[in-house]
Amino acid sequence: MVLARIEGNVVATRKHPSFEGWRLLICQPIGLAGEPEGTPQVAIDAQGAGLHERVIISSDGSAARAAVGDPKSPARWMVIGIVDETGTGATT
């Protein structure tokens, strides 16, 4: 799983049938301070993440297949949660 920021979305008419109706979001992996790390991934989203929101994306294919409801889907990256806050955990 990686921390990422939503930087846009992708529109595609011709696609694997399992992606029908799913939002395809461009997710830029980021570090704790929000700096970009590596190249963006396109992930499916059922959480309703908005532009520039921070999320956690997971590369677990079996969970993504369960989410799209097709055991033969190649789906892999999926938004699994929207970030509330990040920090070091220190209280002061």
Partner 1 sequence: MRLGTVIGRVTLSKTVEDLRGARWLVVSPFTSEHYKRASKAPVVSKEPSLVVYDDLGGGVGQTIGFIEGREAAMPFDKPTPIDAIDAVLVDKIFYSPMQ
Residues of the shown chain interacting with partner 1 in the complex, contacts defined by CB under 8 A: 5, 7-16, 19, 24, 26, 28, 34, 36, 39-43, 51-52, 59, 61, 64-65, 71-77
Least distance (Å) from partner 1 to the CB of residue 77?
A: 6
Least distance (Å) from partner 1 to the CB of residue 8?
A: 4
Q: Looking at beta carbons only, is 47 or 53 nearer to partner 1?
A: 53
In which element (H, E) is residue 67 found?
helix 61-68
Six-digit token string for 92: 């002061």
Decide the pairing of beta strands 23-29 and 41-45.
Answer: antiparallel
Least distance (Å) from partner 1 to the CB of residue 63?
A: 11
Residue type, 83: V
For CA atoms 16, 12, 65, 34, the dihedral sign is positive
Q: Looking at beta carbons only, is 9 or 81 nearer to partner 1?
A: 9
Least distance (Å) from partner 1 to the CB of residue 51?
A: 6
User: Would you give the end-to-end CA distance of the chain in angstroms?
Assistant: 28
